[in-house]
Chain A
Amino acid sequence: MALAVSVVLVSCSKDEEISPNDKNAVILEFDNYVGNEKLVLDTKTYKNAANEDFTVTTLNYFVSNIVLKKADGTEVKFPNQYFLVRQADTKSLNVTLKDVPAGDYTSLSYVIGVDSLKSTSDVSQRTGVLDPASYGTDNMYWSWNSGYIFFKLEGNSSVATTPTKKFQFHVGGFGGMNSATANNLRTVTVSFGTTSAQVRKDVAPTVHLITDVLQTFSQGVSIAKTSVVMNPAASKPIVDGYTKMFKVDHIHNDKM
């Protein structure tokens, strides 16, 4: 059945003329998983590579500097667009890129975090998800060491060394304003595999990404060893881990 559908799609796109003036949206759906299970906040208990049990109470990350790439290597960039994916806010899991020129896109890249230019910009540039007032108590901004928290994973674990058994991974660090500090900005590139995202006048594709939170622990990160990480210089193993967590599962090219 899947084969039949893809054959139909392929033959369909072959017949179509791609008009360069046509534009439509591309939706990036961030579907957060832990291993093979869908992430459920608070109630479900998971196990990491170190065989430590944990729950997840918060998962947030910034996505920015998105680039869509065609097979011929040409790129469409989305500068000055910043998105905050928050597991607690269903709407935030779908990132909509507007006015994407019609074409067949084969891969996607983006930065996890807020680039240094924006991290040092005037307060007038800090609107929407970049407004330090926009998070309430779920803070994604360090006020005493000016900068955004790029990635936040919090939960509970029986092996956590904190009195409340809580673990907190807050990762930031854009490289520093007046002296060099840790730079935890990473660019992630994901291929769309055999199916391209086919933007047409009447097709707004959805790129369904599956992110595996377990990857955060994949580079030797242990809750028992470090239950609280908020120091950019000490965050590298976490960053190296979560950079691997994004994969494209499938793409919808349904006609509207």
Chain B
Amino acid sequence: MKNTWLILFSLGLFGWASCSRSTDVPTPEPQPEQLEMPIPTYFPKMVYNLSSNPITYDGFQLGRSLFYDGILSRNGTIACGTCHQQAVAFTHHGHDLSHGIDDKIGMRNAPPIQNMAWEKTFFWDGGVHDLDLFPIAPIENPVEMDEKLPNVLQKLRDSKNPDYPQLFKKAFGTTEITTERFTKALSQFMVFLVSNNSRYDLYLRGTTNALTATEKEGLAIFRQKCGTCHEGELFTDQSFRNNGLSIARSTDEGRFRITQNPEDRYKFKVPSLRNVGYTSPYMHDGRFATLEQVLDHYAQNVKQTPNLDPLLQQNNQLGISLTSEEKQKIIAFLRTLSDEQFVKDYRFADPGFGKAF
């Protein structure tokens, strides 16, 4: 009896307390933890619409799980992280062309995943215009993951380890798994992969001795001789150009595949050069293994092919005039774009399902 009174009394007190609290200060809804992505002031205007997909801690972690999970492929063997490896700025190290499911060979060299929020188009031919629509392409490509998007969503709904419905609930509020949530989680991970901590970035931010005298000379030569196409602090104008690669061994017509405009034949997207020291091999088909080979191409091997860029055929001369000393200085500068912090950042690493490689 005594106990009952005590309980009633304390319940009353509790009720009074909660009552008065709710009139004074409304209990705040638990807010998802927002992640603030780095937006370097010297980068161009951002393309990705962050307000349509605000990055949260749980959304980022979900995207990271999906990125490294082979569940996205038909037989569980290929993840995004298979061909986009962090240690080499999310490219496929040592592969001119990537091999996907059943060791099938891809069509082009896997480009790095970095600074995606600033990209206007995706793929070497710019066929995809929205990062949120991008993941469907490798998933459904028969030589990459060879899976169907609805199957992927169903496998995620059925997944117990990791418990994807719960991970989606943490990220988006309910366990529902839709195309939008799936691709936006992947976008949250990819958009957050900002590379802006190379030695060159330190130099830009005011540490003048972050670059050596040779590297600074290389920078000046680069800006003068390469900087029209590889312009700005992302080192690309994001245009499509034919840079005079021999077409003898390749039937790849680049941007033409998307636009069917004959003037786009053999044009490919000008790539960013950030982390270029890590992302060997080079060009859309990975034909050059070293930066020396790349500069040798521009200096002496540019071929007169349809739609060759006018900048590579000035004064009746093909290519860019470069002495071997200039080439070495340019390469010294290019290596200052390597962002060691980016390629080692544990937040971007495989969370450990062991299916990515």
Interface residues of A (CB under 8 A from B): 120, 122-124, 126-127, 131-137, 139, 141, 143-146, 176-182, 231-234
Near A by CB (< 8 A), chain B positions 238-291 give 257-261, 264
**B129-A132 in contact (CB<8A):** no
Near A by CB (< 8 A), chain B positions 106-157 give 120-121, 123, 126-130, 132-133, 136-137, 139-141, 148-150, 153
Q: Which of chain A's residues have a CB closer than 8 A to the CB of B183? A: 123
B293 CB–A CB distance under 8 Å:
no
Q: Which of chain B's residues have a CB closer than 8 A to the CB of A132? A: 133, 136, 149, 179
Chain A residue nearest to B126 (CB atoms) is: A178
Known: A144-B128, A144-B137, A146-B133. A126 touches B180 (CB 8 A): yes
Q: Which of chain A's residues have a CB closer than 8 A to the CB of B137? A: 143-144
Q: Which of chain A's residues have a CB closer than 8 A to the CB of B184? A: 123
B52 CB–A CB distance under 8 Å:
yes
| Additional A-B contacts beyond A126-B180, A143-B139, A144-B123 (14; CB < 8 A) | A120-B129, A122-B49, A123-B180, A133-B150, A139-B140, A144-B127, A144-B128, A144-B137, A144-B141, A176-B259, A178-B129, A180-B259, A181-B258, A181-B259
A-B contact pairs, 17 of them (CB 8 A): A122-B130, A123-B133, A123-B179, A126-B180, A135-B150, A137-B148, A141-B136, A143-B133, A143-B139, A145-B128, A146-B127, A146-B129, A146-B133, A178-B121, A178-B126, A178-B129, A179-B264
**A123-B130 in contact (CB<8A):** yes
**A233-B127 in contact (CB<8A):** no
Q: Which of chain A's residues have a CB closer than 8 A to the CB of B141? A: 143-144
**B136-A182 in contact (CB<8A):** no
Once the chains are docked, how many angstroms separate the CA of A136 from the CA of B151? 8
Shortest beta-carbon contacts, A-B, top 4 = A233-B260, A143-B136, A143-B137, A177-B129
Chain A residue nearest to B149 (CB atoms) is: A133
Chain A residue nearest to B182 (CB atoms) is: A133
**B128-A122 in contact (CB<8A):** no
**A179-B150 in contact (CB<8A):** no
Q: Which of chain A's residues have a CB closer than 8 A to the CB of B261? A: 179-181
**B260-A124 in contact (CB<8A):** no
Known: A144-B137, A178-B129. A131 touches B148 (CB 8 A): no
Once the chains are docked, how many angstroms separate the CA of A127 from the CA of B70? 26
Once the chains are docked, how many angstroms separate the CA of A181 from the CA of B178? 30
Q: Which of chain B's residues have a CB closer than 8 A to the CB of A182? A: 260
Q: Which of chain B's residues have a CB closer than 8 A to the CB of A126? A: 179-180
| 0/1 interface trace, chain B 65-97, chain A, CB 8 Å (1 if under) | 000000000000000000000000000000000
Known: A134-B150, A145-B258. A124 touches B127 (CB 8 A): no
- Number of B interface residues at 8 Å Cβ cutoff, please give it: 32
Once the chains are docked, how many angstroms separate the CA of A119 from the CA of B107? 26
**B140-A181 in contact (CB<8A):** no
Q: Which of chain A's residues have a CB closer than 8 A to the CB of B128? A: 143-146
Q: Which of chain B's residues have a CB closer than 8 A to the CB of A176? A: 259
Q: How far is the CB of A89 from chain B (nearest CB, A)?
A: 15
**A178-B148 in contact (CB<8A):** no
Q: How far is the CB of B166 from chain A (nearest CB, A)?
A: 21
Known: A124-B52, A144-B123, A178-B120. A133 touches B260 (CB 8 A): no
Q: Which of chain B's residues have a CB closer than 8 A to the CB of A131? A: 178-179
Contact of A123 among B132, B140, B150, B153 (CB under 8 A): B132
Contact of A143 among B132, B140, B258, B264 (CB under 8 A): B140
Q: Which of chain B's residues have a CB closer than 8 A to the CB of A234? A: 260
Chain A residue nearest to B52 (CB atoms) is: A122
Q: Which of chain A's residues have a CB closer than 8 A to the CB of B123? A: 144
Known: A131-B179, A132-B179. A122 touches B132 (CB 8 A): yes
Interface centre among A127, A141, A178 (most CB of B within 10 A): A178
**B149-A124 in contact (CB<8A):** no
Once the chains are docked, how many angstroms separate the CA of A136 from the CA of B148? 7
Q: Which of chain A's residues have a CB closer than 8 A to the CB of B129? A: 120, 146, 177-178
**A146-B180 in contact (CB<8A):** no
Once the chains are docked, how many angstroms separate the CA of A122 from the CA of B128? 13
Contact of A136 among B139, B150, B259 (CB under 8 A): B150
Q: Which of chain B's residues have a CB closer than 8 A to the CB of A144? A: 123, 127-128, 137, 141
Q: How far is the CB of B190 from chain A (nearest CB, A)?
A: 14
Q: How far is the CB of A147 from chain B (nearest CB, A)?
A: 9
Q: Which of chain B's residues have a CB closer than 8 A to the CB of A233? A: 260
Once the chains are docked, how many angstroms separate the CA of A145 from the CA of B183? 17
| 0/1 interface trace, chain B 163-203, chain A, CB 8 Å (1 if under) | 00000000000000011100110000000000000000000
Once the chains are docked, how many angstroms separate the CA of A231 from the CA of B127? 13
Chain A residue nearest to B133 (CB atoms) is: A146
Chain A residue nearest to B259 (CB atoms) is: A181
Q: Which of chain B's residues have a CB closer than 8 A to the CB of A124? A: 52, 180
Once the chains are docked, how many angstroms separate the CA of A247 from the CA of B84? 52
Q: Which of chain B's residues have a CB closer than 8 A to the CB of A178? A: 120-121, 126, 129
Chain B residue nearest to A120 (CB atoms) is: B129
Q: Which of chain A's residues have a CB closer than 8 A to the CB of B179? A: 123, 126, 131-133
Chain B residue nearest to A123 (CB atoms) is: B132
Q: Which of chain A's residues have a CB closer than 8 A to the CB of B140? A: 139, 143
Chain B residue nearest to A141 (CB atoms) is: B136
Q: Which of chain B's residues have a CB closer than 8 A to the CB of A133? A: 149-150, 153, 178-179
Once the chains are docked, how many angstroms separate the CA of A65 from the CA of B264? 32
**B52-A231 in contact (CB<8A):** no
Chain A residue nearest to B122 (CB atoms) is: A146
Once the chains are docked, how many angstroms separate the CA of A82 from the CA of B136? 21
